[in-house]
Amino acid sequence: MAKLSVSLAQMNIVLGEVKRNTSQMEKWTIEAARRGSHLVVFPELWPTGYALERGKELASVLNSDLFAHVSTVATQAKISIVGSMLEKRGQENISNSAAFFAPNGRMLGVYRKIHLFRLMQEDKYLQGGSSPLVLDLPWGKTALAICYDLRFPELFRRYALEGARMVVIPAEWPLERIDHWRALMIARAIENQCYMVAVNAAGQTGDTVFGGHSMIVDPWGKVVVEAGESPALLTVEIEMDLVGEVRRRIPVFEDRNPNTYEALDLGY
């Protein structure tokens, strides 16, 4: 599959209102499928927002509850779905987890946010993940990351070295730091010569205004599509073969000198 049609579902998440947010997810999934999209991406914690103090009440068990419902929606619409949700793991542990659902409803993998964002008290309420995730999909190897992970280039370089041609990033990135979001998204695409497919929340959720500007950046660093600051469902077709073309044109990975810098202890 050389061409991939992607829909970016930039939601205004209603804090803690799972039914309302799920209804919006269902409507936009159906619309994305009607447009012929292969993949629809939703923001970070799209069912709940950062209602972390209610995490044990609102979280779902993997393969059941809300995860099972999203699987059903993917099957009915015949479309792949990604977006992060609160996952209940055992009696006490809650994770910020992005599952990838195939058009047949199968969960192909789940990525648990590795870098917890203390400014939103994730370190207080959530358990961080420890396993990066690269999936072998019909359009090429695709990796998952979540929001704050964007500030850690090591993760994205690992993904590129493992052959990822695209990284999908659900996010809730505040409006006051939206310039960081744009700059980092473009930088990660350029330095790893891959597509960055990122969906942010938009508008006010609780006490925080999220910045929108969901976007797809191609491996040359060009912004293919970018939303504004209001809720929107954007759909665009991207050319996956461009990844190989860019990597051949500037062979960054062949010119790496990892022995020089990967063994350094920077003392951070």
Q: Which residues are catalytic?
A: 44, 113, 147
> Looking at the chain, which runs of residues are DSSP E strands?
3-10, 39-41, 60-61, 80-89, 93-101, 107-112, 133-137, 140-144, 166-171, 195-200, 202-205, 208-211, 215-217, 223-226, 232-239
Q: What is d(CA 60, CA 67) in angstroms, rounded to the nearest whole number?
A: 7
DSSP assignment letter at 135 = E
Q: Is 134 helix (H, G, I), strand (E, B) or coil?
A: strand
Q: What is d(CA 163, CA 136) in angstroms, rounded to the nearest whole number?
A: 10
Q: Is there a contact between 37 and 5 (Cβ–Cβ < 8 Å)?
A: yes
Q: What is d(CA 223, CA 106) in angstroms, rounded to the nearest whole number?
A: 31
Q: What is d(CA 206, CA 193) in angstroms, rounded to the nearest whole number?
A: 36
Residue identified by tokens 């293919």 is 224
Label the pairing between strands 195-200 and 215-217: antiparallel
Q: Is there a contact between 23 and 62 (Cβ–Cβ < 8 Å)?
A: no
